[in-house]
Amino acid sequence: MKKNTFIKKNCRRFFILLFFLPLSIFAQGRSNFYVNPMICVGYCIGSGFSYGVDITLGILDIQQGDFPTTMAVSTKYYFFNLAGYSNRVLSFNLLVENQYNRIGFGISEIKRKWGFKNRNIHKAYGFTTDFGLHAGPYQIPWFGFRTITPLVASDWLEKKSFADFYTYFKYENIQLLK
């Protein structure tokens, strides 16, 4: 029981850090804030189809030659089925992205409601990796691969890790500040 409490406290600290990171970078004056919404549909190996939304907040520009690169914070909320139950995943990632690829690492929470009128809830926390590739203008969909590795093995979670191939449509950046 104590181990699960330790994981919850550290996840909350990580979420707070992700919240204040954009504010500290904005104070340094090297920011280019933008918001980028996405819709994703994919296939979780061994589970079935997955679908969800992603909102990315660009916070820092890193210039590298012809490919301007941005550091961003991403929040994903998506669903997949496992053993007849719908699982909800809330994920927070730190990303490095340019116009052709994106790489992200973060932490996620997997939640499953079950029982009479879905009153019971199981939760698991884990690490997330996310890779995406793109080859053209915004109208062409991106292709991605993400994994979730839970920190603690749970009886209700039938798999040790999850792998998900997905495609997503990334809209043009909505500039907030420049």
Q: What is the CATH number of domain 2-175?
A: 2.40.160.20
On the 0-12 / 13-18 / 19+ scale of CB atoms within 10 A, 175 is exposed
Q: Six-digit token pair at 42?
A: 């994919």
Higher-pLDDT residue of 90, 27? 90
Q: What average pLDDT does range 2-25 have in this prediction?
A: 60
Q: Please state, in angstroms and as integers, the Cα–Cα distance from residue 69 to each residue in 36, 47, 92, 101, 125, following that order.
A: 15, 34, 19, 10, 29
Residue 3 has pLDDT above 60, yes or no: no
Give the pLDDT band of residue 43 (cuts 50, 70, 90).
very high
Tell me what percent of the residues of the chain surpass a pLDDT of 90.
18
pTM above 0.85, yes or no: no
Q: Six-digit token pair at 143?
A: 């292709």
CB 64 within 8 A of CB 99: no
The pLDDT score that the predictor gives to residue 1 is 46
Q: What average pLDDT does range 36-44 have in this prediction?
A: 89
**Using a CB cutoff of 8 Å and minimum separation of 24, what contacts does 14-19 make?**
14/92, 14/107, 15/92, 15/107, 18/73, 18/92, 18/94, 18/106
How many Å is the Cα radius of gyration of the chain?
17
